[in-house]
C-alpha cells in the first residue's frame, strides 16, 4: 500500500473516534475538479506540467476558532514530444501526483458567500515514467527507459477561495491552492537521484454538501 493511502487510512480511523461532535456541529464535504500546474521545470519541458485534477475536500467543525481540513487530491498528465536531434527522437512522459493535505481552514461571514483561507502539511506522492525512442536507420529502432519510479515527500500547502451556499445544504465554490514537496527519483542508468518538486498551483471548482 502506498504511503499516501496508509496516511489516509490512519486519519480516517483517528477521526472516526471524534467525528461525532463535528457531525453534530457542522461541516462540508466537497468534490474538487480542476487543474494542477506543476512547479518543476523538468515537467514543463516534458509537456506534463498542466495536469487534470480531481479530489475531495472535507472540513469539520469542532467549535474551534478554525475548522479541521482534510483534502485528498489526485492529478495526472501524459505527453509525447519530438526532440530535435541527428535522428528522429521521441520522449514519452507520464506523471501522476497524489496529495493528502491536512491542516485548518478559516471561513468568514455567515451568509451565502463565505471567503476562506487554509493551510497545513502536504503529503505528496509523485510517480513518473519516461521513455526515449527512435530509430538509427532502417530496421534499427530503439527504446530506452529514462525513469520509472515514485517517491513521497512532506511539505506545506495553503489555499483560499470562496464558498457559495446555494441552499441550506448545497455548496458551489472556487478553490485555489499552492503546495510544495520534494521527491527523489532513481533513473536506472544514472548515478544519482533526480531531485524534483512534486507540488504546484492548484485551481478548480468545488461542488458538495454542507451540514
Q: Residue 148's domain is classified under what CATH number?
A: 2.40.160.20
The pLDDT tens digits of the residues spanning 55-89 come to 999 998 888 899 999 999 999 999 998 876 667 78
Cα–Cα distance for residue pair 200/88, rounded to 1 Å? 32
Determine the pLDDT at residue 157. 98
Query: pLDDT above 90 covers what percent of the chain?
Result: 57
Q: What is the pLDDT of residue 168?
A: 82
- pLDDT, mean of residues 113-135: 94
pLDDT at 17: 47
Mean pLDDT of 193-198: 90
* Mean local confidence (pLDDT), 191-211: 90
pLDDT of residue 211: 82
Contact present, 146 and 139 (Cβ < 8 Å): no
Residue 36 above 50 pLDDT? yes
Rounded to the nearest integer, the mean pLDDT of the chain is 86
pLDDT at 43 over 70: yes
d(CA 28, CA 68): 10
Can you give 152-194 as a three-state secondary structure string? EEEEEEEEEEEEEECCCCEEEEEEEEEEECEEEECCCCCCCCE
Look up cell 515527500; give the residue.
153
pLDDT of 26 over the 70 cut: yes
The percentage of residues in the chain with a pLDDT greater than 70, rounded to a whole number, is 85
Query: Whole-angstrom Cα distance, residue 171 to residue 66?
Result: 19
Determine the pLDDT at residue 15. Answer: 55
Residue with cell 518538486: 197
* Mean pLDDT, residues 103-113 taken together: 89
Q: For position 83, what pLDDT does the model report?
A: 78
What HEC string does the chain produce?
Answer: CCHHHHHHHHHHHHHHCCHHHHHHHCEEEEEEEEEEEECCHHHHHHCCCEEEEEEEEEEECCCCCCEEEEEEEEEEEEEEEEECCCCCEEEEEEEEEEEEEEEEEEECCCCCEEEEEEEEEEEEEEEEEEEEEEECCCCCEEEEEEEEEEEEEEEEEEEEEEEEECCCCEEEEEEEEEEECEEEECCCCCCCCEEEECCEEEEEEEEEEEC
Nearest to 161 by CA among 112, 105, 115, 100: 115
Q: Inform me whether the pLDDT recorded for 99 exceeds 80.
A: yes
- Which range, of 14-23, 72-81, 140-149, averages the lowest pLDDT? 14-23
Q: Can you give the pLDDT at residue 198? A: 94
Residue written as grid cell 498542466 = 50
CA dihedral (23, 26, 30, 36) in degrees, to 10, reads: -110
Number of independent structural domains in the chain? 1
Contact criterion met (CB below 8 Å) for 93 and 47: yes
| Confidence at residue 167, expressed as pLDDT on a 0 to 100 scale | 83
Q: Per-residue pLDDT tens for 173-195?
A: 999 999 999 999 988 876 678 89
What is the domain range of residue 137? 3-210
In this structure, what C-alpha cell is assigned to residue 146? 529514462
Amino acid at each position: 500500500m502506498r504511503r499516501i493511502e496508509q496516511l489516509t487510512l490512519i486519519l480516517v480511523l483517528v477521526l472516526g473516534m471524534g467525528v461525532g461532535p463535528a457531525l453534530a456541529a457542522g461541516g462540508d464535504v466537497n468534490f474538487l475538479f480542476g487543474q494542477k500546474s506543476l512547479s518543476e521545470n523538468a515537467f514543463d519541458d516534458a509537456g506534463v506540467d498542466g495536469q487534470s485534477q480531481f479530489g475531495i475536500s472535507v472540513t469539520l467543525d469542532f467549535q474551534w476558532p478554525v475548522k479541521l481540513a482534510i483534502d485528498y487530491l489526485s492529478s495526472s498528465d501524459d505527453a509525447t514530444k519530438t526532440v530535435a536531434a541527428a535522428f528522429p527522437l521521441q520522449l514519452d512522459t507520464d506523471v501522476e501526483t497524489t496529495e493528502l493535505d491536512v491542516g485548518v481552514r478559516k471561513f468568514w461571514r455567515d451568509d451565502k458567500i463565505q471567503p476562506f483561507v487554509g493551510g497545513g502539511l502536504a503529503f505528496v506522492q509523485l510517480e513518473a515514467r519516461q521513455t526515449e525512442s527512435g530509430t538509427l536507420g532502417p530496421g534499427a529502432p530503439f527504446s530506452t527507459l529514462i525513469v520509472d519510479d515514485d517517491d513521497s515527500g512532506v511539505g506545506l500547502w495553503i489555499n483560499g477561495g470562496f464558498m457559495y451556499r446555494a441552499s441550506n445544504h448545497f455548496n458551489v465554490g472556487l478553490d485555489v491552492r499552492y503546495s510544495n514537496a520534494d521527491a527523489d527519483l532513481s533513473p536506472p542508468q544514472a548515478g544519482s537521484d533526480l531531485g524534483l518538486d512534486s507540488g504546484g498551483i492548484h485551481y478548480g471548482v468545488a461542488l458538495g454538501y454542507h451540514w
